[in-house]
């Protein structure tokens, strides 16, 4: 399997393809550390909506998602009621899945009751400490589930969160920069210092 795709002079992870919006997302967002309760609540919600679909579908609908979910402000979304659910179910600009819509509202209510910063701290507590694992060369080298994503899923489910399965949570870990799964040779890879780089010059 080809690991890289070269476009506009840049080698990118092959899953990006030729879609300009996907390329922008890969270059500017995917794998970059994302912090903050609200930003991570949005990420958690959109990854839940993505379950069973392609991410490019969610990415193209993201502007509308942000509009109808009040910028994913947990306090606002937590107050959504039956009328809001029907409004969302009638909106062709998003994924009209009642279970996912209701889960997003329910998840917002959980986040609203958490102290400020706790969602951020909870999710990032599962980021692997060991950054020395081999960099993937293709999708064959990328895990779908890891012990960390399984533990994250279990912790969230224990609090009542929904649509937070281990596979979905690993996708969140990748996109939010908790792990770095850019392929070997991708232009987004941050070069690691070599032993000689770290030695002091006499």
Question: Would you list which residues are annotated within the binding site for Zn(2+)?
Answer: 13, 26, 182, 186
Among residues 15, 25, 124, 187, the one annotated as catalytic is 25
Report the alpha-carbon angle 193-194-195, nearest 5. 125
Among residues 22, 30, 42, 47, the one annotated as catalytic is 47
Of 96, 78, 72, nearest to 86 by C-alpha is 96
Of 180, 162, 170, nearest to 110 by C-alpha is 162
Residue ranges of the annotated binding site are 13, 26, 182, 186
> From the CB of residue 73, how many other CB atoms can be counted at a distance below 10 Å?
15
Among residues 55, 102, 124, 187, the one annotated as catalytic is 55
The answer to whether the beta carbons of residues 49 and 95 sit under 8 Å apart is yes
Would you call 124 a catalytic residue per the annotation?
A: no
Q: Which helix (H) or strand (E) holds 36?
A: none
Would you call 22 a catalytic residue per the annotation?
A: no
The answer to whether the beta carbons of residues 94 and 68 sit under 8 Å apart is yes
**Could you list the active site residues?**
25, 47, 55
């Amino acid at each position: 399997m080809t690991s890289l795709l070269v476009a506009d002079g840049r080698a990118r992870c092959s899953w990006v393809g030729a879609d300009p919006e996907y390329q922008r997302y890969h270059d500017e967002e995917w794998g970059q550390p994302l912090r903050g309760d609200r930003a991570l609540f949005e990420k958690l919600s959109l990854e839940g909506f993505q379950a069973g679909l392609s991410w490019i579908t969610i990415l193209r609908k993201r502007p509308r998602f942000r509009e109808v979910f009040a910028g994913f402000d947990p306090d606002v979304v937590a107050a959504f009621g039956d009328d809001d659910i029907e409004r969302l179910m009638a909106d062709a600009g998003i994924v009209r899945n009642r279970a996912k819509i209701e889960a997003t509202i329910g998840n917002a209510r959980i986040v609203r009751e958490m102290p400020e910063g706790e969602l951020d701290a909870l999710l990032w507590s599962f980021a692997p400490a060991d950054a020395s694992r081999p960099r993937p060369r293709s999708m064959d080298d990328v895990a779908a589930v890891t012990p960390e994503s399984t533990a994250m899923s279990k912790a969230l489910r224990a609090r009542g969160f929904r649509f937070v399965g281990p596979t979905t949570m690993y996708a969140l870990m990748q996109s939010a920069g908790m792990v770095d799964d850019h392929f070997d040779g991708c232009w987004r890879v941050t070069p690691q210092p070599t032993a000689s780089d770290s030695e002091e010059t006499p």
